[in-house]
A and B are shown apart, each in its own frame.
Chain A
Amino acid sequence: MYRYNDFDEAFVRNRVAEFREQVRRRIDGSLTEDEFKPLRLKNGLYLQLHAYMLRVAIPYGTLNSRQMRQLALIAERFDKGYGHFTTRQNIQFNWPRLKDVPDILELLADVEMHSIQTSGNCIRNVTADHFAGAAADEIEDPRPTAELVRQWSTDHPEFQYLPRKFKIAVSGSPNDRAVTKANDIGLRMVRNEAGEPGYEVIVGGGLGRTPMIGKTVREFLPKDDLLPYLEAILQVYNLSGRRDNKYKARIKILVHETGLDELKARIEDAFERQKRAFPGVPADLIRQIEEAFAPPEFENTQSLAYEQAQADNPAFRSFVETNVAEHRNPAYGIVTVSLKPIGGTPGDATAEQMRVLADLAERYGHDELRVSHEQNIILPHVRKADVPTVYAALGEAGLATANIGLLSDIIACPGMDYCSLATARSIPVAQAISKRFDELNLEREIGPLKIKISGCINACGHHHVGHIGILGLDKAGRENYQITLGGDGTESATIGERTGPGFDAEDIVPAIEAIIEAYLALREDASETFLEAYRRLGAEPFKQAIYGENGDKARAA
């Protein structure tokens, strides 16, 4: 893992001291809320529906056990005993008190963490493939790139007051697990014909009220050109992005309004200037970053214990089928720990569970943990021989739900249970869907399915790229839920199509059930996934399932 150098350490400590003084001045009345609000937001501190919320950055989702234990301590000492892992690979604490926040930031600084740039119109926490450094399909570990981008973007003086927030995601594999096409900039590692590694650069993706799939502005960008090219994109956006209307201020609107060819020309022009002025990233810094992400020393010894445990224990076999992915080293597996127990809150982990995960990472996982944008935790390097032991320990902690990639592995934003921007709740919908399909015992029969729920149009729950997306709205003072179908957040990214009128809260689960029943009845065979069936059949049979042939079956409104 990357470790802070003296500069990083001093920078973060200074920010904590500065914020401590700002909090003191707000409490004693020297600062008004109008003056204080931008300062607290610059430190990731929001005021939500019931309390303050502190958003802590987990750059590219990578943590070690010491950091995870510190998050547990903070959850216990300053919150209500749990934390919420988000779709931006951050963690949010939902109940801190204002006067305690400087102490929390101090504890974070002790383990090389912070909340800087987790809010505001700046370059946000860089996200990456949560299987980075472990995946069998990886071209190259995306984290050195993400770390370089993090260092470049942190407190970058030119990009602190962009037209709007700016999100960058990096994928090192052809299978996109970082939703690169729904970020302001998506970087996908590719190789050119000579076999040299570089990036496909995608610009202008994003969800929210105007969902758009990003467009490729460079098929191949040499690695050495990354920073001047990013500078060029950000400069063009900073100068030309709209500031007259916050709903039209993201770079996706600039791409749309300017046109791809014109925008590419402007970026290339700015890039030529930047490149001439750019001396290159110092070789020792590149070496230092790459060394920090050197793979651990793997033991290449295989064991029969893994296969034997699967033969002996059907529950363990089910867990392996869904929660263990192929590692680049055949003696290892990538274990995804579901934070989606049936009826639970997607993304929440208690302090005790965080400690169990930290212990397991330390003992069996080369001290590495990852947070996924799908709100789960990953142990990226577990010897297959150790997976049965890890599984048993997870089971004791309530963390062994075998549902990764299945219906109950739902992304749900905090919704109106916590968020002041939300227009309806998300969590109870996720809970009700997972409970209902658990009763029906259909989850494995249905197979791969991604349900994503947002409690407002800002789409933190990524509903536009859910195979089944649910958007909670306020319709005349009642919670109402719109459904989208056919969304996809991978390399074949697609925005889902809205089915029609939304459903009241009590009708949304029956509507989802009707969609699933239609899929099960219409699929060619069990190997055809929901998304494949939807792409083959189109929306019509699913609309009929929820609205009836005359559009009057369900109580949609």
Chain B
Amino acid sequence: MAREYKPRIVTANDLIEGDVVYFTASHNWSRDIGEAVVAWSREAAEQLLAAAQAQENRVVGPYLAETDIGEDNRPQPVHFREVFRTRGPSNYFHGKQAET
């Protein structure tokens, strides 16, 4: 049986800064996961990833990550790795958690 499709977002690292970034509906890149555009189907996800990969002069290594939708209707990370990427390391208060 085919696995149920879970919505996805595209994430990558900024080319110059290395920061974690998310692909937005306007095909820009945001440091805020809440601004990521959500692909609700496999086909939409593939199209989104292809559009992101075309911007390799801005980012490195775009990939699809599963997402939940929070009560505020904004995307949220599912896997703990993606949780860490939204905030920065747990041993110091720096990275994204200190910048937002």
A427 contacts B96, CB within 8 Å?
A: no
Chain B residue nearest to A94 (CB atoms) is B89
B79 within 8 A of A: yes
Chain A residues with CB under 8 Å of B92's CB are 80, 345
B17 contacts A97, CB within 8 Å?
A: yes
Q: Is the interface of B mostly helix, strand, loop or mixed?
A: loop
Contact with B along A463-505 (1 / 0, CB 8 A): 0000000000010011100000000000000000000000000
Q: CA A85 – CA B7 in complex, angstroms?
A: 40
A87 within 8 A of B: no
Contacting residue for B61 out of A29, A33, A51, CB 8 A: A33
B26 within 8 A of A: no
Q: Decide: A98 near B16, CB < 8 A? Known: A32-B56, A417-B90, A428-B90.
A: yes
Contact with B along A227-270 (1 / 0, CB 8 A): 00000000000000000000000000000000000000000000
A80 contacts B84, CB within 8 Å?
A: no
B61 contacts A47, CB within 8 Å?
A: yes
Contacting residue for A416 out of B17, B84, B94, CB 8 A: B84
A27 contacts B16, CB within 8 Å?
A: yes
Chain A residues with CB under 8 Å of B38's CB are none
Contacting residue for B91 out of A48, A95, A98, A428, CB 8 A: A428
B15 within 8 A of A: yes
Q: CA A294 – CA B61 in complex, angstroms?
A: 48
Q: How many B residues touch the partner, as a band? A: 20 to 34
Q: Decide: A98 near B85, CB < 8 A? Known: A50-B95, A428-B90.
A: no
Q: Which of A89-104 contact B (CB under 8 A)?
A: 95-99
Q: CA A478 – CA B88 in complex, angstroms?
A: 18
B13 contacts A33, CB within 8 Å?
A: no
Chain A residues with CB under 8 Å of B88's CB are 50
Chain B residues with CB under 8 Å of A99's CB are 16
Chain B residues with CB under 8 Å of A418's CB are 89
A50 contacts B80, CB within 8 Å?
A: no
Contact with B along A284-304 (1 / 0, CB 8 A): 000000000000000000000
Q: CA A425 – CA B91 in complex, angstroms?
A: 10
A49 within 8 A of B: yes
B70 within 8 A of A: no
Interface residues of A (CB under 8 A from B): 26-27, 29, 32-33, 47-52, 80, 95-99, 345, 416-418, 425, 427-428, 431, 474, 477-479
Beyond known contacts A80-B92, A417-B90, A418-B89: 9 more, CB 8 A cutoff: A27-B15, A29-B57, A47-B13, A49-B81, A50-B85, A97-B16, A416-B84, A474-B81, A479-B80
